[in-house]
A and B are shown apart, each in its own frame.
Chain A
């Protein structure tokens, strides 16, 4: 059985401080003062002002239950059973508060209808189990949205319409309806905020995931090797995104007709390093995600069937792609000559192509091939 509603040590977890129960500043207190209304127009403006001032279960809300929820939402990161337990204690308190409202007043029966769906005393044997039931439901149903409460449920209510149609027939009725609407909206908002604590960490994880995916996609499309349009099309043929939700990129690519600038070593020439074009006819390139935001390409390598041009007949052979955008290829032309090629990816050449090619050539020659 679930713990008793207000019994046991669990209640001590939520300690209401005096400072939270009282208005923190005169300005905020004024902002959240519930006005006296006599007409539908005043009631509508009153709700609108309270919403804009974040008073109906929002950050500036001041009733006792608001303080409890504020304490929960401001609590350091909790997890598992401890988190579930605290959330459930607050939910019970809000549930108890809802039971004190007059059911004949505006929106109260709808609030009770929403709560009845939970059947709280028999919801689950543990706080965690109960919380699973609660959070598996659509939490947004509890969040007021402008003048709409309990949207997309059988208890859906439009407060503006209610004020205009039936609940502001007389000033007294209007006043009572307005106060009831404020109480229900506030409780509904607080329940939503409480349920939201259960997924707060999860949502932060989703945010981090999106950031990682975004950086990875940028690298996949513009920072990797196979980025030419025909390679993009080819890689799309084998790409399968997530079956639901957002997708990140794969950690590998097909290389298809991928050209790069290289240098070929030719012992017969005075200038032993000749500029060459190396083309990966077909190959594979892969890496591991790591580094900042887990979105940098780490330990990339690949291999491809390759062809090369140095001004004579094209040669055919194999290319191996190594970290730091280095590639080595061995090709053989129809004239039977074997060529050794070194290549670096274009990003290295962008700023000053000629200078970089020369430096690259010098580096290789210094290796005394």
Chain B
């Protein structure tokens, strides 16, 4: 079996095959820029899209179904308490359409509810485990995680590394670990619990061999608590960590948070494939050629670019609706917790 690249998605519902467009982009890059030429990507790599979004969808669907079934009768018999309780739950129509439930819900429940977080870690851990079955001695596996997926990848790998083997001889991570963890729009610090992302085992030499992170200064999702460590991971493996801080001006589309946009940037995609394959896999000549063709602003016209830049300079105005929704969801969960804990000041 070839080297396996697992891709972890960000927030929101993802269907099977969600990774195909990103894989096509990576394949095209290797076809044109690797020294081994066209067709090498498929000979060398097998890409596997990890999907954990179904877990959130199942939860929401179950709630919605139960609400739909009881709502009318509760109203009919005058069970006001029940009606009020059910008001917290999204109906079937909202689950599909409302950003609060389709996106923000994932992040909020993952961060605040340990049972959800542990279930996600198990779901992802299982898919990783099944994906590396039969992997040859000469092959390796790596992870490319995006946005919310970076937090999920971090937490899963920390658990993976520490998972004791049944007979107590060593851990799962001592036997199986990814070569490269490529974090794109890294929010592992934003959603960290314990241990925090800088202190966990997810670092070169422990839960992985190499750790790359890509950061866009204008990406509103990552700027709250960016992954920009000063002295990390420290000895003995500082050279196995690579941080790509992209230009403020790197704007090719309205959604600068997009995985594909990050993976088009030469500071991300070239080190990525040099690590996944080998250093001269992308030769200096090929690198120069790619950088020459690379356009910071893609196909954007000047007026569109100026408008986008203005909006992004206003601290992520372009995503204001989503963030507002996230805040509402966050506060709602906190309210319930505070109520149950009898702490009305929280």
Which residues on A are within 8 Å of B, measured CB to CB?
A: 41, 44, 48, 50-52, 54-59, 132, 135-140, 143-148, 151-152, 160-161, 164, 189, 192-193, 196, 198-199, 202-203, 205-207, 209-211, 213-214, 217-218, 220-222, 227-230, 232-237, 239, 241, 244-249, 256-257, 259-261, 275-277, 279, 309-311, 314, 346, 349-350, 353
Q: Are B115 and A232 in contact (CB under 8 A)?
A: yes
Q: Are B129 and A207 in contact (CB under 8 A)?
A: yes
The answer to whether A221 and B116 touch (CB under 8 A), given A276-B77, A277-B79, A346-B70, is: yes
**Partner pick for B340 among A144, A151, A233, A261, CB 8 A cutoff:** A233
The verdict on B280 contacting chain A, using a C-beta distance below 8 Å, is: yes
Q: Are B58 and A145 in contact (CB under 8 A)?
A: no
Could you tell me the distance in whole angstroms from the C-beta of B191 to the nearest C-beta in chain A? 16
Q: Are A147 and B166 in contact (CB under 8 A)?
A: no
Q: Are B81 and A144 in contact (CB under 8 A)?
A: no
Q: How big is chain B's contact interface, by range?
A: 35 or more
Chain B residues whose C-beta falls within 8 Å of the C-beta of A353 in the assembled complex:
69
Complex CA distance for A245 and B70, rounded to whole angstroms: 39
Nearest-CB residue, chain B, relative to A243 = B162
The answer to whether A275 and B336 touch (CB under 8 A), given A146-B277, A246-B159, A350-B69, is: no
The answer to whether A232 and B159 touch (CB under 8 A), given A152-B236, A260-B70, is: no
**Partner pick for B73 among A136, A137, A244, A277, CB 8 A cutoff:** A277
The verdict on B138 contacting chain A, using a C-beta distance below 8 Å, is: yes
- A sample of 30 inter-chain contacts (CB < 8 A) reads A48-B277, A56-B138, A58-B138, A58-B139, A137-B174, A144-B138, A145-B179, A146-B277, A151-B209, A152-B205, A206-B166, A218-B119, A221-B55, A221-B59, A229-B89, A230-B340, A233-B340, A237-B341, A245-B172, A246-B122, A247-B159, A248-B122, A249-B115, A249-B118, A277-B70, A279-B82, A309-B74, A309-B79, A314-B79, A346-B69
**Partner pick for A203 among B121, B126, B175, CB 8 A cutoff:** B175
Q: Are A202 and B85 in contact (CB under 8 A)?
A: no
The verdict on B298 contacting chain A, using a C-beta distance below 8 Å, is: no
Complex CA distance for A222 and B115, rounded to whole angstroms: 12
Q: Are A236 and B113 in contact (CB under 8 A)?
A: yes
Instruction: Tally the A-B contacts, defined by beta carbons under 8 Å.
Output: 237
Query: 14 other contacts beyond A139-B175, A203-B176, A353-B69, with CB at 8 A cut-off?
Result: A44-B280, A48-B278, A52-B2, A58-B139, A59-B136, A135-B170, A189-B138, A205-B166, A209-B166, A210-B122, A221-B116, A245-B172, A246-B118, A276-B77
The answer to whether A59 and B170 touch (CB under 8 A), given A210-B126, A236-B114, A311-B78, is: no
Chain B residues whose C-beta falls within 8 Å of the C-beta of A247 in the assembled complex:
118, 121-122, 159
Chain B residues whose C-beta falls within 8 Å of the C-beta of A235 in the assembled complex:
115
Q: Are B74 and A259 in contact (CB under 8 A)?
A: yes
Chain B residues whose C-beta falls within 8 Å of the C-beta of A48 in the assembled complex:
36, 277-278
Give 1 or 0 for each of B40-80: 1 = CB within 8 Å of chain A CB.
00011000000000010011001101100110011011110
Q: Are A199 and B76 in contact (CB under 8 A)?
A: no
Q: Are B114 and A140 in contact (CB under 8 A)?
A: no
Q: Are B43 and A161 in contact (CB under 8 A)?
A: no
Q: Are B166 and A210 in contact (CB under 8 A)?
A: no
- Chain B contacts with A in 1-60, Cβ cutoff 8 A: 2, 36, 43-44, 55, 58-59
Complex CA distance for A99 and B153, rounded to whole angstroms: 41
Chain A residues whose C-beta falls within 8 Å of the C-beta of B43 in the assembled complex:
52
Q: Are A259 and B165 in contact (CB under 8 A)?
A: no
Most B C-beta atoms less than 10 A away, residue of A135, A205, A210: A210
Chain A residues whose C-beta falls within 8 Å of the C-beta of B123 in the assembled complex:
214, 217
The answer to whether A54 and B79 touch (CB under 8 A), given A239-B114, A245-B164, A259-B74, is: no
Complex CA distance for A143 and B141, rounded to whole angstroms: 12
**Partner pick for B66 among A58, A196, A236, A346, CB 8 A cutoff:** A346
Could you tell me the distance in whole angstroms from the C-beta of B171 to the nearest C-beta in chain A? 8
Complex CA distance for A207 and B175, rounded to whole angstroms: 13
Complex CA distance for A248 and B121, rounded to whole angstroms: 10
Give 1 or 0 for each of B158-185: 1 = CB within 8 Å of chain A CB.
0110111111011110111101000000
Which residues on B are within 8 Å of A, measured CB to CB?
A: 2, 36, 43-44, 55, 58-59, 62-63, 65-66, 69-70, 73-74, 76-79, 81-82, 85-86, 88-89, 112-116, 118-119, 121-123, 125-126, 129-130, 133, 136-140, 159-160, 162-167, 169-172, 174-177, 179, 204-205, 209, 236-237, 276-280, 333, 336-337, 340-341
Complex CA distance for A210 and B138, rounded to whole angstroms: 25
Could you tell me the distance in whole angstroms from the C-beta of B193 to the nearest C-beta in chain A? 10
Complex CA distance for A36 and B3, rounded to whole angstroms: 26
Could you tell me the distance in whole angstroms from the C-beta of B95 to the nearest C-beta in chain A? 13
**Partner pick for A244 among B36, B116, B163, B278, CB 8 A cutoff:** B163
Could you tell me the distance in whole angstroms from the C-beta of B239 to the nearest C-beta in chain A? 10
Could you tell me the distance in whole angstroms from the C-beta of A42 to the nearest C-beta in chain B? 12
Complex CA distance for A244 and B279, rounded to whole angstroms: 36
**Partner pick for A257 among B81, B133, B179, CB 8 A cutoff:** B81
The answer to whether A54 and B136 touch (CB under 8 A), given A146-B278, A247-B122, is: yes
